[in-house]
Amino acid sequence: KAGVTQTPRYLIKTRGQQVTLSCSPISGHRSVSWYQQTPGQGLQFLFEYFSETQRNKGNFPGRFSGRQFSNSRSEMNVSTLELGDSALYLCASRPGQGGGETQYFGPGTRLLVL
Amino acid sequence: TQLLEQSPQFLSIQEGENLTVYCNSSSVFSSLQWYRQEPGEGPVLLVTVVTGGEVKKLKRLTFQFGDARKDSSLHITAAQTGDTGLYLCAGAIVGTYKYIFGTGTRLKVLA
């Protein structure tokens, strides 16, 4: 079974621009979660999508948004980029039915905002 | 607020030493995972524990899930330089769809 894939792996943008990151979950997984990881703040939860609906949300500004498609692939968008948005963005998938599920991570997208 | 506290936050030890990392919460988990992460990469799953009191061994790594399913520990025997990395515990809170992460333990094993 193929793992979680994320594209692109690396991205350089300038302040004020917007960016879209993509995540393809493990086949059969309907839950996709996004995380931001920085050296100072650790792993921070952005949001979770399940069956095309946002099911959980972290404490990030509205500049961070996401969506999920019918094939469970998900995209995350950050508008009006700030220097502080430079981070490793991780996507993770799991079946999403609750219970003793395991979440699997993709390799991440490293975003650098100049 | 549901928290998963890990200790210690940082650990620097010599090769060959033993160590234990703890993960504690007031929440009950339906499952708990341990991950290891290298810089710039996504966390890689080490183990999933599901049953209270469960003990799982993965070569030199021993994982334990508390009886009440609120805490877990990771014990490494005879640490090697290849064990260096960030260790994260995470779990699915029982009765919810929430999945929370620990604060992480950064381990450095010196040759």
B105 pLDDT tier (thresholds 50, 70, 90): very high
Q: How close A38 comes to chain B (CA, Å)?
A: 10
Note the pLDDT of residue B17.
97
Q: How close B90 comes to chain A (CA, Å)?
A: 9
Backbone angles phi, psi at A83, to 5 degrees: -55, -35
Note the pLDDT of residue B61.
97
B103 pLDDT tier (thresholds 50, 70, 90): confident
Output the 3-class SS for A33-101: EEEEEECCCEEEEEEEEECCEEEEECCCCCCEEEEECCCCCEEEEECCCCHHHCEEEEEEEECCCCCCC
Note the pLDDT of residue A88.
96
- Reported as a single tens digit per residue, the pLDDT across A29-78 is 999 999 999 887 788 899 999 999 999 898 899 999 999 999 999 999 99
Q: What percent of chain A has pLDDT over 90?
A: 79
For chain A, the first-to-last Cα distance in angstroms comes to: 37
Distance of CA B71 to the CA centre of its chain: 10
- Reported as a single tens digit per residue, the pLDDT across A69-99 is 999 999 999 999 999 999 999 999 998 877 6
Selected residue of B1, B86, B101 to mutate for chain A interface (largest A Cβ count, 10 A)? B101
User: Cis before residue A95, ω within 30 degrees of 0?
Assistant: no
Q: How close A102 comes to chain B (CA, Å)?
A: 7
* Amino acid present at B26: S
Residue B70's alpha-carbon distances to A27, A74, A80, B48, in angstroms, are 30, 31, 40, 14
Note the pLDDT of residue A40.
74
Note the pLDDT of residue A43.
86
Residue A39's alpha-carbon distances to A36, A44, A87, A104, B6, in angstroms, are 10, 11, 8, 21, 16
- Reported as a single tens digit per residue, the pLDDT across B48-73 is 999 999 999 999 999 999 999 999 99
- Reported as a single tens digit per residue, the pLDDT across B11-47 is 999 999 999 999 999 999 999 999 999 988 999 999 9
> Measured between CB atoms, does A8 come within 8 Å of chain B?
no
d(Cα B19, Cα B92) in Å, to the nearest integer? 25
A1 pLDDT tier (thresholds 50, 70, 90): low
Place of tokens 């594209």: A7
Note the pLDDT of residue B94.
87
B2 pLDDT tier (thresholds 50, 70, 90): low
d(Cα A57, Cα A68) in Å, to the nearest integer? 14
> Measured between CB atoms, does B78 come within 8 Å of chain A?
no
Place of tokens 């949300």: A57
